[in-house]
Amino acid sequence: MEKDYEIFDHTADVGIIVRGRTLEEMFEKAAYAMFDIMIYAEKIEPIRKVKVSISASTLEDLLVDWLSELLYVFSTELFVMGKFNVNIQKDKEFSLKAICWGEPYNREKHGIKTEIKAVTYHQLKIDEKEGYITLLFDI
C-alpha cells in the first residue's frame, strides 16, 4: 500500500490524516499508517492472515477499537500487518469485520521507528462526507 497519509506532530503524540473514498478505505489506510509509524510497513509480506471482528456504538469507538486491536496483536504476538480488507456494517451499532495480512515481526527486516503506546480520542475526527480521518497516537 502506498503512503496515503500525512503525519503531524503533537506534544507526546503523533497524528495522522488519512483520506479515502469510503469509510472502509479510510480504516484500512489508518491501520497501514499506524504500522508504518512503528516499523517499515512496506517490507511486510502478506504471508499469513488474521481475522478481526469488533463492534461499537459509534464510528469513533469502532476506529479506536479497531486500531487498538491491531496494536494488541502486534504487542502480544509480534505480528505485523500491511494489507487490510475492511467491511463495516451499521445495524443497531457499527460492526467491523476485517481480514489482515502480514507476517511475524523481524527487527532486521522490518526495523523499528516509533513505539505507539495507545490510540487516543484526542482530536479524533471522522468526516465521511469529506473523506478523511484525523487521529492521534500516544507515543
Q: Grade residue 3 by pLDDT with cuts at 50, 70 and 90.
A: low
Q: Residue 5 pLDDT > 50, yes or no?
A: yes
Q: How many residues does the chain have?
A: 139
CA dist., res. 67 & res. 48, Å (int): 19
pTM: 0.94
CB 46 within 8 A of CB 101: yes
Residue 19: the pLDDT is: 96
In total, how many domains does the chain have?
1
- Residue 28's domain comprises 5-138
Q: Residue 1 pLDDT > 60, yes or no?
A: no
Beta strands in the chain (DSSP E): 5-10, 13-19, 48-56, 79-90, 94-104, 118-119, 125-127, 132-138
pLDDT in tens, 35-59: 999 999 999 999 999 999 999 999 9
pLDDT in tens, 63-79: 999 999 999 999 999 99
Residue 10: the pLDDT is: 72
Which DSSP letter does residue 120 get? -
Q: Grade residue 12 by pLDDT with cuts at 50, 70 and 90.
A: confident
CA dist., res. 47 & res. 101, Å (int): 7
Q: What are phi and psi of 38, to 5 degrees?
A: -80, -40
Residue 9: the pLDDT is: 72
**In CATH, what number is assigned to the domain containing residue 126?**
3.55.10.10
pLDDT in tens, 93-109: 999 999 999 999 999 99
CA dist., res. 94 & res. 29, Å (int): 19
